[in-house]
Amino acid sequence: MLAASSASANSLDESIASIQKVGPEGEGSVAASTAWKQLCDMDASAIVPLLTSMDQSGPLAKNWIRSALEVIFQRTAANTPENLPLESLENFLSDTGQSARARKLAFDLIQSVDEDKAAQLQPGFLNDPSPELRLGAVELLITEGKTLLAKGKTEEAGTTLKSALDSARDINQIKQISKLLRDKVGMELDLPGHFGFLMHWHVAGPFDNTKRSGFAAVFEPEKGPVDLSATYHGKSREVAWKPYSTTDEYGMVDFNQPYDPLKEVTAYAYTEFESDKEQQVELRLGCKNAWKIWLNGEFIFGRDEYHRGMRIDQYQLPVTLQKGTNTILVKACQDEQTQTWTKEWQFQIRVCDSTGTAVLSTNRKPTPTTDTDRRTSAQ
């Protein structure tokens, strides 16, 4: 029996290893297909090891492993449900060190066979590191808050909905909660602070982008440490840094505000972020123009594309903040197109951890507000 168990474990490990080697353009897919069939024939004891293996698997391998796991689970649920490792699945789910995607899958599997157990577990995910698992827990609070509002219990509803907002990471939920809090409870909110959007900048421009040459061109602001007192030769005149603060609730830095709407131009935005320690964060940027970004003078990433759409967290850039002052420089290029929908020349950027929880500068200035220039669309 021990020999059989060892052989089964070896077969499981070998099959997983074969699938984890699958690469782009079909590399390793023949071996992976054979391994997948072997996995599908295994019993329920393979379910948790397969979930565990997802943390060390690439995107393609994750899909192969998930499909094999679901085949095993569904077959066991249909034929021998008593063999389902529900307690082990619950233990796996409670281990926040496991892959967020795998933990969400474990929850879905539990929910598919035991809705009552899933309902008991769901409130516990309110502050879970997995944004996907938070969704259901936050939704419970939204429902509770609406019920309290319907009963006329405005103060209690406000407390409940504020808790929901504090835990929410999904943009649609945040918009829904903030509307309820403002319209029904009368609560003032700092959404830029909730997201971690950077609101205070210095901007310099315009520089040239004739024939879209500005993206590759190296203008003075990106040649070395930024000197806010410096002047530069711009596209048609001398330019200098000027302070700029956005009142957009979703942190939109709009170059058409400090400058007249222009075409075939490039501009820079610069800010500083104070961190109380060295830490891993994500710079999450949305932009429909060509752009580049530098952190502490080091080029991080860029996209030479125009008007391809924009959304919050469109680009997620893992970086390391140093303790103390960190400099952030953004370059945005505007092209030659003249249609109305091409005139937007803007970006939004926030600092957060991998779950989307805001990381705020230790010297963060108050969020700018204005009753006459508040945008309510998150793009």
Same domain, 168 and 310: no
Query: Which residue range is the domain that position 271 belongs to?
Result: 195-352
Is 359 part of a structural domain of the chain?
A: no
CATH number at residue 294: 2.60.120.380
- Per-residue pLDDT of the chain in tens (379 residues, 90 and over written 9): 433 344 456 789 999 999 998 877 667 788 889 999 999 999 999 999 999 999 989 888 999 999 999 999 999 999 999 999 999 999 999 999 998 999 999 999 999 999 999 999 999 999 999 989 999 999 999 999 999 999 999 999 999 999 999 999 999 999 999 999 999 999 999 999 999 999 999 999 999 999 999 999 999 999 989 999 999 999 989 999 999 999 999 999 999 999 877 899 999 999 999 999 999 999 999 999 999 999 999 999 999 999 888 889 999 999 999 999 999 999 999 999 988 888 899 999 999 999 899 999 999 999 997 643 433 333 3
Question: Cα–Cα distance between 142 and 124 in angstroms, integer?
Answer: 15
Shared-domain flag, residues 181 and 204: no
Domain assignment present for 370 = no
Does residue 372 lie within any of the structural domains? no
Torsion of CA 176, 181, 186, 191, to 10 degrees: -80
Domain contains 315: yes
Query: Which ranges of 151-297 would DSSP assign to H, the alpha helix?
Result: 154-167, 171-180, 191-195
Let me know if residue 361 belongs to a domain.
Answer: no
Whether residue 68 sits in one domain with residue 182: no
- E strand or H helix at 268: strand 265-275
Clarify whether residues 309 and 219 are in a common domain.
yes
203 and 180 housed in the same domain: no
Same domain? For 226 and 271 the reply is yes
- Tell me, yes or no, whether 377 lies in a domain: no
Instruction: Judge if the upstream peptide bond of residue 206 is cis by omega within 30 degrees of 0.
Output: yes
> DSSP readout, 274-288?
EESS-EEEEEEEEES
Angle at 145 between CA 140 and CA 149, to 5 degrees: 150
Task: Measure CA 1 to chain center.
Answer: 47
In a domain, 224, yes or no: yes
Q: Indicate whether 263 and 342 sit together in one domain.
A: yes
- Judging by beta carbons within 10 Å of its beta carbon (0-12, 13-18, 19+), is residue 39 exposed, middle or buried? buried
Residue that has been written with the tokens 């800010």 in this structure: 271
340 and 228 share a domain? yes
Whether residue 199 is found in the same domain as residue 347: yes
Considering the domain architecture, whether residues 200 and 290 belong to the same structural domain is answered as: yes
The reply to whether 219 and 332 lie within a common domain is: yes
Structural domain count of the chain:
3
**Cα–Cα distance between 39 and 348 in angstroms, integer?**
45
